[in-house]
Each structure stands twice: as structure tokens, then as C-alpha cells.
Amino acid sequence: MNRQMNAITRVLSLPATWLSEPRFLIGGSLVRICLGFIVFVFFALHISERQLLWGTHGIVTIQEFNRWFGGPQRTGFNLYTLANTQAWFEVTYWIGLIVALLFTIGCWTRITTPMFALFVWSIYHRNPWVTNGGTRLLCIVVIYLVVADLGAYLSVDASLRGARPRVSGWLSNMLHNTSILLVAIQLCCVYIFSTFYKLDGPAWQQGTGLYYALMDPQFISFPFVAALSHNVWFVTLGSYGTLLYQSAFPWLILHPRLKYPMIIVGIGFHAGIALFMGLWWFSAVLIACETVLLTDAQYIAIGTYFHTLFDRIGRGMAIGNRLLEQADA
């Protein structure tokens, strides 16, 4: 009787047991660095034309913003529309830039994380016509990450903590793991639903979708890309391959070993999109989100693997050198 009770309790507490252990702290720290860097570059690049793009007298005034985009019900809370003055705009822009920097380097991460979400959401929604791709995903993901612990590794917080062990309660761990799961689920949604839409059109069904995507005059096309796009084998296999990869992603990343090739192919795929189509920032956001898919144990295993590999290569080279020296003598 007692044993049965124990078994029931164990099953009932499965979600709690799984969620309350620290699992995705390295991935969380990597996603922080990547997203923070993307947003910091965005703020820093546009300092000189910030007035034109988002200012009170810019290409979309606050009145127009409210009229065209349907107000806060459609675009959510926005810091920039709280006051219609030049000074408020300047303050919001520069604090946004500083928060992005602090977030990237992992300074006071528990405070800068929600602030980062707020400033990211506000700048990208202030003028939705000038965003740099991947914005939709970025804005959703920063909301998920508000309660995540993103400063455990590679951060100023971690180096200040030094050798002292990281303390975190079970609730904090649970919220962190839930956030990371939300990011992973969102990433799966991107892949699975873009397959859904692609399959709706004859171009992808007939395996010519890739041709149209690569030749779209909106995107950069290098001469060799144009040449490649005229190759029947490349276009057909590439189009069907894209569909196959995108539809398989949500299922195969659940597998402890198959997730590695999926992530490697995904990173290659997005690096290709960045290089050959000029969609740099869209790809950067997607690659950033993929860093959460590996658990801490998996990151440590990868680290150990490469450490051993380099160690062996080093030892092998040392032996080789000794043999050479002996041969010389």
C-alpha cells in the first residue's frame, strides 16, 4: 500500500521534479549574449538617424502611430508614446541602448532582463515599417525570457559571484525552465507553420519555391546564386529539402542525439540565408534562439569532447616532436 502511494506521488511530482532542477543555464546565457548584441548593434547603428526613424517629428509621428497601427490594443504597451516630447524620446532611446549593453555583458541580469524586454518591444513597435527582420520572433522571445535566469554563465554577475556557488530557489528554476521551453516551442512554431503556408502554394509543391525566394529582387543575389538557381537539381532538391527540414525540426530536436545534426543544419541554413539573401538580422535572431535547445549537460559534454580532442592532438604533436628530435639526434 505504502509502495503504491509512493509510486503515485512520484508520478504526480514528475512535472515539479523536472522543472525544479537547473537545466538550461548555459543556453540561457548564450541567448542573452546573442540577443543583447543584436539589439545593441541596432540601437548603436541608428544613432544618427534616430530622430527621422522614431522621433516625435520623424517619419511616423505619435498621432500617426496611434491612427495607423490601431493604438495600444494592437501594438501593446509602448514607452515611446508615453510623452510626445523630444526630451522623453532622447531619454528612452539612450536608456534603451545602455540597457541592451548591460544585458549583453550580463550586468544585474535579473533587473536588466525585464527592462530589456520593455525597451526592445517599444523600439521595434514604434515604427513597424523599419525593422530589421526577425523582429517578430525577437519581440515574442524577450517576453518569454522575462523570468529566466540568463546571467549564470559568461556574465559580469557570474564573475562578481566568483567561486561562491550560485543560489537559486526551486521556484526560480521552475520559472526559468518554463521560459526556455516557451522559446523552444516558439521556435518549433516558426518552422512548422512556415511549412504549413509553403505547402499551400504550387511553387513549393512543385519544388520551385527556392528559385523564387533566391531570385526575389528584394533580396541580394550574387551572380553565382543566380547561376545556381537555374540548376534544376539544386532548386528541386533544395526546395523539398527545406520543407523536409522545417517539418521535421519540432520532432527531431526531441531526440537526444538527432538534435545535434538538426541544430548544425539549422545554423548552416540560416548562415546561408544571411549571406546569400542579405537577411542578416533575421538569421541572427533564429540562430540565437537555437542556442537554448541544448541542456547544460549537453553543453558540458560538447566542451569535454573538444577539450579531450585538443588534448589528444596536443599530446600527439608532443610525441611527434620527440620522435623528430630523436631522429635528428
Using CB under 8 A, which residues numbered 225 to 264 contact another protein? 230, 232, 235
- Kindly tell me which of 193 and 306 has the beta carbon lying closer to another protein: 193
Footprint of another protein on 5-24 (CB under 8 A): 12-20
- Give the residue with the Cβ less far from another protein, 18 or 305: 18
Mapped onto helix, strand or coil, the DSSP state of residue 146 is helix
Residues 100-159 that bind another protein (CB under 8 A): 127-133, 136-137, 140, 143
- Out of 31, 183, 190, 253, name the contact with another protein by CB under 8 A: 190
CA 100, 102, 105, 108 dihedral sign is negative
Alpha-helical regions (H) of 216-258 = 223-229, 232-252
**Which CB atom, from 284 or from 289, has the smaller least distance to another protein?**
284
Half-sphere exposure of 137 (CA within 13 A, CB side): 25
Nearer Cβ to another protein, position 158 or 275? 275
In this chain, which stretch among 50-58, 95-103, 253-261, 303-311 interacts with another protein, using CB under 8 A?
50-58
CA distances from 155 to 70, 101, 104, 106, 269 (A): 39, 12, 8, 4, 29
What is the closest distance, in whole angstroms, from the C-beta atom of residue 323 to another protein in the complex? Answer: 47
Choosing from 22, 37, 59, 247, the residue that interacts with another protein (CB under 8 A) is 59
71 residue type, one letter: G
Among 22, 37, 46, 245, which residue sits at the site for another protein (rule: CB under 8 A)? 46
Looking at the chain, how many residues does it have? 329
Establish if 76 lies at the interface with another protein (CB under 8 A).
yes
**Smallest gap, in angstroms, from Cβ of residue 22 to another protein?**
15
- Residue span binding another protein (CB under 8 A) among the ranges 21-29, 81-89, 191-199, 307-315: 191-199
Tell which positions 162-181 bind another protein, by CB under 8 A: 170-171, 174-175, 178, 181
State which residue, 25 or 137, has the beta carbon closest to another protein.
137
Nearer to another protein by Cβ, of 58 and 106: the residue is 58
Do 191 and 249 touch, CB atoms closer than 8 A?
Answer: yes
Q: Which of 104, 155, 208, 291 binds another protein (CB under 8 A)?
A: 208
Rule CB under 8 A: is residue 215 a binding residue for another protein? yes
| Count of residues interacting with another protein (CB under 8 A) | 78
Residues between 304 and 323 that touch another protein (CB under 8 A): none
Q: How far apart are CA 11 and CA 43, in angstroms?
A: 48
Name the minimum Å distance from CB 286 to another protein: 11
CA distance 114 to 109: 9
The verdict on 48 binding another protein (CB under 8 A) reads: yes
Kindly give the residue spans of alpha helices, DSSP state H, lying in the chain.
Answer: 2-12, 14-20, 25-45, 50-54, 62-69, 71-75, 86-105, 109-126, 135-144, 156-161, 170-198, 202-205, 209-215, 223-229, 232-252, 259-277, 280-290, 296-328
Can you tell me the distance from the alpha carbon of 196 to that of 246, in angstroms, rounded to the nearest whole number?
A: 10
On the CB side of 92, CA atoms within 13 Å amount to 25
- List 7, 185, 300, 317, residue binding another protein (CB under 8 A): 185
Range 267-286, binding another protein (CB under 8 A): 274, 278, 280-281, 284
Question: Could you give phi then psi for residue 150, rounded to 5 degrees?
Answer: -100, 5
Q: How far apart are CA 293 and CA 180, in angstroms?
A: 8
Q: From the CB of 281, what's the least distance to another protein, in Å?
A: 7
